[in-house]
Amino acid sequence: MNENRKYPFPEIDPDICKGCKLCIAACPKDVLVISEKLNSKGFHYSEYVGEGCIGCGNCYYTCPEPSAVTVYLKNYVPEEVS
């Protein structure tokens, strides 16, 4: 994970995403888009545009795939890498 990234932000596993677009519809800030690229399953996956996330968690809760979306919230403290 890029330690310079600004919290909050979503992390979408491009390979797990099935491209259903529910997260895109649920995002109040319209900061998720469907990728032009295909993943290994042949889905155009969802991806974060890189800024504008407010950490509402909508994408997480609307995503039917348990491990596709992770949202690092504003108060998230990265674990120390020892």
Partner 1 sequence: MAQKTVLRKPKGFIDVYKHKPGAEKDRTHYCPGCGHGILHKLIAEALEDYDIVEKTIVISPVGCSVFAYYYFDTGNIQVAHGRAPAVATAVSRANPDSVVISYQGDGDLAAIGGNNILQAANRGENVVVFFVNNAIYGMTGGQMAPTTLLGQKTTTTPYGRNPQTDGYPLQMCEIINQLTAPVFVTRTSLHDMPNIRKTRAAVRKGIKNAMDKKGFSFVEVLSMCPSGWKMDAVPAQEWIKENMLPRFPLGTLRDISEEAPAIERPVPVMDADEVKKILGYGAFSDSNLEKNPDAAFNKVALRVAGFGGQGIMSTGIALANVGMEYGYNVSWLPSYGPEMRGGTANCSVKIQGDTIGASECTEPNMIIAMNQPSLEKFEKILIPDGVIIYNSTLIDIEPTRRDVKVYNVPITGIADELGDTRFQSMVNVGAFAAVTGMFDPGEIQGLMSSLFAGKPESVIKLNEKAVQRGYNYVKDNFS
Nearer to partner 1 by Cβ, of 16 and 54: the residue is 16
Q: Report the 10 Å Cβ neighbour count for 7.
A: 14
1 near partner 1, judged by CB under 8 A: no
Return the number of other C-beta atoms located less than 10 Å from residue 30's C-beta: 10
3-class secondary structure, 25: helix
Measured from the CB atom, is 51 or 61 closer to partner 1? 61
Closest CB 16 distance from partner 1, rounded Å: 5
Q: How many residues bind partner 1 (CB under 8 A)?
A: 29
Q: Pull the structure tokens for residue 69.
A: 């979306």
Q: Which of residues 2-61 bind partner 1 (CB under 8 A)?
A: 16, 18-22, 24-26, 43, 57-58, 60-61
Cα 40–Cα 46–Cα 50 angle in degrees, nearest 5? 120
| Rounded CA separation 72/55 (Å) | 7
Q: Contact residues for partner 1 (CB under 8 A)?
A: 16, 18-22, 24-26, 43, 57-58, 60-73, 75-77
